[in-house]
Structure 1
Amino acid sequence: MMDSALTEDRIEAAEAPVALRVRAPGTIRSVDRALDLLEVLSRSGGALALSEISARSGLNASTCHHLLATLAARGYISQNGRSREYMIGNKVFDLSDARARQFNLIEVAMPRLRALNEATREAVHLAVIQARELITVAKLDSLHAVKVDSGFVGKSNAAHATASGKAILAWLPEPEQRAIAEAKGLDAFTENTITGLDALRAELALVRRHGVAYDREEFQPGVICIGAAIRNHTGGVIASVSCSTPTMRASDEGLARVEELVKAAAAELSQELGSRSPA
């Protein structure tokens, strides 16, 4: 039986040049290449034949075959018995689920919240919807001498009236949107609050179209808030980040800047949580 190290050496000697990617010093080449193959499959959008994997990875077919066989034996990829094409295996999803269970949303988000707070000098919030309740789980107050009441950490029945709530509601299935509206009501907090389900649906359609939610004095007079959704590794919306500013500082130019900063913070957090979905 041929020694495994010798087998790998012969495979490497015969292969074509690999993709021109700088590899970190001190790494194990075979492990690095196996991860290259996983990344090729993860970006493919479907199953791939051995020849296609070889072409995309820059590794020869023999090397790919050996690495794929090892990954398949551990469940990280699977192979269609008829087409012989390869795809991501269930073990990868197990790892993704484990990562999701391990992360602390507030801990992960806090550096981004602080950066947004410092860049805008306005109040920022991190919110989730759980059991049909809008819950602000973290907030940072404005750095200005004149500031708005940035609310409190805890539950609120104002998902329909806040940017943080609408940023999440917009991406929920319509039956869930309706269930939340019916369970919590569409109470009027100001004369600008949306209190009709049809009007709320139209507003949420705009949120989906533009990737950002606005609260234009709908929850609190004299306050405008801008929010954007945060996605996890499955692409699902799990939270929102928002920024509140008093109308006295809300110029068109200033709001446009805050909007871009909020969207960027949400996108960066989503990426950190493993999302590849667009905002």
Structure 2
Amino acid sequence: MDQMISRTAGGLPGERSERHSIQSVDRAMTLLEAIAEAGGECTLTELSRRTQLNISTCHHLLSTLVQRGYVAKVPVRRSYALGARIHYLCNASLQVGLPARAAPFIERINERTGETVHLAVLQGDAMMKIAKRESRHAVRVDTGTLGKSDAPHATATGKAMLAWLPEDDMRRVLSNGLPRFTPKTITEWPALIEALRQVRRNGYAIDDEEYQPGVICIGAPIRDHNGAVVGAISASTPTMRAKDDHLALVREQVTAAVRALSSELGGLNAQSRAPAAAE
């Protein structure tokens, strides 16, 4: 779309109030909108034309946005593109409404398997369990409370998200190392990297008594419209019910649910992108 962006302050062009705006912030937002309107990448000259800002002002504002990661330079084309921090904000905004969007899918898994179902997300460098539906069985597993997880490497939701992260990001999430919770917990980096490769090949993750003795969990990633992993859903079952046919049912229900939810969010198939960590 070839158009010029209004530089009045506020929410929409022509509907902004200059009195309450901070000019530099308003202009920076206008530049980001102009890059987006141009398809995600634009030259300095074209940005100046679109925003009606002079070249020098555009350059100074873009330099700050580049430093903060909201804009990235593309030297080969002498242009500027939307940066990774924009995607971070998009993911964060999606996560705000994710529990409500995921609720019917969580309920469906719970109804069809009878097992405890979880929803988890990555918030910054932390994995957070943000929703849970308890098992319908008299014998159920105690999967703890909602909140920050101390075991991304040992849980199905954690591994389902870690598998698609670049290795640097994965190591930040796991900055406290790989603590042991059970005799089956993965505590060595090479073994974890190989396990995450397997997650990528399968499209789902398994926690085989790695976090709690007597509990098996199957989880798969949720993707947004950019194909980025924004969360994971898992279901936990006690080993006493973990017969092959029941585990197959749990796996089918979890993977079907995340595919449907990802599709609703505009996401890609769970196996469509490869992280550096798993290559």
TM-score, L = length of structure 1: 0.63
Q: Which residue does the alignment assign to 1:130?
A: 123
| Counterpart AA for 2:249 | R
Change (3 A) 1:277 1:76: farther
Which protein has the larger Cα radius of gyration, Structure 1 or Structure 2? 1
The match for 1:170 is: 163
Query: 1:157: how far off?
Result: 1.4
Corresponding residue number in structure 1 for 2:147: 154
User: Cα deviation per residue 1:78-127 (whole Å; 9 max; x = unaligned)?
Assistant: 9xxxxxxxxxxx9xxx9xx9898476000100011011111110000000
The amino acid of 2:163's aligned partner reads: A
Give the conservation status (yes or no) of the 8 Å contact 2:178–2:186: yes
How far does the alpha carbon of each residue in 1:211-253 deviate from its partner, in whole angstroms, 9 at most, with x for none? 0100000000000000000000100001000000000000011
The question of 1:261 aligning with 2:274 is answered no
C-alpha distance in 2 between matches for 1:98 and 1:255? 34
Structure 1 ranges of 4+ moved more than 4 A:
75-78, 97-100
Q: Please give the residue correspondences for 1:69-218 in structure 2 after superposition, counting only pairs within 5 Å.
A: 101=93, 104-181=97-174, 183-218=175-210
Please tell me the root mean square deviation across aligned C-alpha atoms, in Å. Answer: 2.3
The offset of 1:178, in angstroms, is 2.0
Quick check: 2:222–2:231 contact (8 Å CA) kept in 1?
A: yes
Equivalent pairs: percent with the same residue?
Answer: 50
Matched with 1:36 is none
Is the Cα–Cα contact under 8 Å of residues 141 and 150 in structure 1 kept in the other structure?
no
In 2, distance between residues paired with 1:169 and 1:278?
13
Amino acid at match of 1:155: K
Instruction: Give CA-to-partner distance per residue, 1:183-216, whole Å, 9 cap, x none.
Output: 1221100000000111100000000000010000
Q: Which residue of 2 aligns with 1:48?
A: none
Distance 1:99 1:185, change over 3 A: closer
Q: 1:180 Cα shift? A: 2.2
Please say if 1:219 is aligned against 2:247: no
Q: Which residue of 2 aligns with 1:38?
A: none
Which residue pairs with 1:58 in the alignment? none
* 1:119–1:197 CA distance, 2 compared to 1 (3 A): same
Change in CA separation of 1:173 and 1:254 when aligned onto 2, cut-off 3 Å: same
Unaligned runs of 5+ in 1: 1-74, 79-89
Instruction: Give the alignment partner of residue 236 of structure 1, picking from 228, 232, 240.
Output: 228
Q: In the TM superposition, what is the alpha-carbon distance from 1:156 to its structure 2 partner? A: 1.2
Q: C-alpha offsets along residues 12-62 of structure 1, whole Å, 9 cap, x if unaligned?
A: xxxxxxxxxxxxxxxxxxxxxxxxxxxxxxxxxxxxxxxxxxxxxxxxxxx
Q: Which runs of 5 or more residues in structure 2 are unaligned?
A: 1-36, 41-80, 272-279
Question: Is contact 1:129-1:239 (8 Å) kept?
Answer: yes
Q: How many residues align?
A: 188
